[in-house]
């Protein structure tokens, strides 16, 4: 199920994005990005509708994934 980001408290959205960024690893190319910059980039992508938040009821997990153009 897709979760509209606007329905999440700001602290929950922030925590979700931070956890996502931290679990994605540290390979970001030639330049090192700080955590707050990476989090800001993902938040911007969510707000622009490029990334969606989904929740799987069966596993109890939340994921972020690119939105496909086949809507």
Q: What is the CATH number of the domain that holds 29?
A: 1.10.10.610
Residue 52 in any domain: the answer is yes
Classify residue 11: in a domain, yes or no: yes
The string of pLDDT tens digits covering residues 21-47 is 888 665 555 555 688 889 999 999 999
Residue 71 falls inside a structural domain: no
Nearest to 41 by CA among 32, 31, 51: 51
Q: State how far the Cα of 48 lies from the Cα of 26, in Å rounded to an integer.
A: 24
| SS3 label, residue 3 | strand
42: nearest Cα among 3, 10, 14: 14
pLDDT value of residue 36: 87
- H/E stretch holding 19: helix 10-23
**Are the beta carbons of 64 and 47 closer than 8 angstroms?**
no
- What mean pLDDT is predicted for residues 9-31? 80
Instruction: Please check the confidence at residue 11 and state whether its pLDDT lies above 90.
Output: yes
In a domain, 8, yes or no: yes
Q: Give mean pLDDT, residues 17-21.
A: 92
Q: Is the pLDDT of residue 14 over 80?
A: yes
Q: What is the pTM of this model?
A: 0.79
Report yes or no on 6 lying in a domain: yes
State how many domains the chain has. 1
Classify residue 59: in a domain, yes or no: yes
């Amino acid at each position: 199920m897709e979760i509209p980001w606007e329905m999440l408290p700001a602290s929950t959205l922030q925590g979700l994005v931070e956890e996502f960024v931290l679990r994605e690893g540290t390979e970001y190319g030639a330049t090192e990005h700080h955590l707050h910059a990476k989090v800001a980039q993902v938040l911007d992508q969510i707000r622009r509708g490029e990334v969606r938040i989904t929740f799987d009821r069966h596993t109890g997990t939340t994921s972020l994934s690119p939105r496909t153009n086949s809507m």
